[in-house]
Amino acid sequence: MTAPTPTARHTAGPAISLRNATKMFATRSGDPFTAITDVTIDVAAGEFVTIVGPTGCGKSTTLSLVSGLEPVTSGTVHVHGRPVDGIPDGVGYMFQSDAVLPWKNVLDNVAVGLRYRGLGRKEAHERARDWVERVGLAGFEDRYPHQLSGGMRKRVAMAQSLIGEPSLLLLDEPFGALDVQTRELMQDELLQLWSGTGAAVVFVTHDLTEAIALADRVVVMTAGPATVKNIVPVDLPRPRKVEEIRLTPEFTELYRTVWDSLREEVEITRARGASRVA
């Protein structure tokens, strides 16, 4: 597997910039529901940022403001220096439930984004073949998703998100449904594929080991409505092998720092849940 050539565009400012971003949703009762409040985060080109926080605090909502799927209620969200108004150019996504199309084989699934953007079949297939190889699926081009393992489907999804050479990669618990061994393998492969691309990454996860192993910085969110509680720099050398670095004393220390920050927020969230069922 080889890393892709650097393609991300370079701008002077941060790739992503949220300033006091607040999102409210309308509710049936008429009272707006605040999902996140005053979130301020910058992500530089080529930086890998992970977001952790208690369940339901607003992590996915934060991503949806960056991807343009939801408009911000107050505050600002900029991508490559421009206010987000609809889906910005150069965004790649990956979610827990992958977007692999059951009626298309591996090659067509990987090529689908390029075809959608108007590239001819031959060229799209050539590039897709290259990406199928990069994600370790050479020889499986003709297989259909139901003939693949969970890990192989994730590889297809990874190739789908990376083939467009995104300058921004938004990942929402992409490996959440995988077993632990496959997950670690996919984490290593993601790091390898991303390294050198210059893409800014925002990766939402519940798994602190994953958050620390992948990141340049871990953003810890508060109990909902989420705001940024703490940002922990991860000064571990790259390239990284998740299996190896998670056993180092530096990693254990980082884990303690992140968990110390998160624990209180998890307890607040649990107490709210308990009071609702009391």
Ligand X SMILES: Nc1ncnc2c1ncn2[C@@H]1O[C@H](COP(=O)(O)OP(=O)(O)OP(=O)(O)O)[C@@H](O)[C@H]1O
**Cis peptide, bond prior to residue 166, ω within 30 of zero:** no
Q: Which is nearer to ligand X, 41 or 162 (CB)?
A: 41
Query: Looking at this protein, which amino acid is placed at residue 108?
Result: D
Specify the residue, 183 or 240, whose C-beta has the smaller distance to ligand X. Answer: 183
Q: How far is CA 262 from CA 89, 178, 266, in A?
A: 33, 24, 6
Q: Which is nearer to ligand X, 241 or 272 (CB)?
A: 272
HSE-up of 33 (CA within 13 Å, CB side)?
Answer: 11
Between residues 206 and 256, which has the closer beta carbon with respect to ligand X? Answer: 206
Min dist CB 204 to ligand X, Å, is: 6
Which of 15, 18, 35, 111 is the binder for ligand X (CB under 6 A)?
35
Comparing CB distances to ligand X, the nearer of 208 and 236 is 208
Q: Map the footprint of ligand X across residues 41-100, applying CB under 6 A.
A: 53, 55-61
In what side-by-side order are the strands of the sheet with 33-43?
Answer: 33-43, 16-25, 74-79, 82-83
Rounded to whole angstroms, how far apart are CA atoms 190 and 162? Answer: 10
Number of residues assigned to the chain: 278
In the bound complex, what is the minimum distance in angstroms from residue 93's beta carbon to ligand X? 14
Q: Which of 1, 2, 9, 25 binds ligand X (CB under 6 A)?
A: 25
For residue 180, CA distances in Å to 147, 151, 207, 267 come to 21, 11, 11, 25
Rounded to 5 degrees, φ, ψ at 36 are -140, 155
- Closest separation between CB of residue 265 and ligand X, Å? 11
Fill in the DSSP letter of residue 167. S
Q: What is the DSSP code (8-state) at residue 163? A: T
Using the rule CB under 6 A, is 116 a contact of ligand X? Answer: no
Q: Pick between residue 55 and residue 149 the one whose CB is nearest to ligand X.
A: 55
Q: Write out the binding residues for ligand X, residues 220-259 only, by CB under 6 A.
A: 224
How do 200-204 and 168-172 pair as beta strands?
A: parallel
- What CA–CA distances, in Å, run from 256 to 49, 249, 250, 251, 253? 18, 11, 10, 9, 5
- What is the size of the binding site for ligand X (CB under 6 A)? 12
| Minimum separation from the CB atom of position 54 to ligand X (A) | 7
Nearest distance from residue 76's CB to ligand X, in Å? 19
What minimum distance in Å lies between the beta carbon of 55 and ligand X?
4
Choose which of 1, 10, 33, 256 interacts with ligand X (CB under 6 A).
33
Residues forming contacts to ligand X in the complex (CB under 6 A) are 25, 33, 35, 53, 55-61, 224
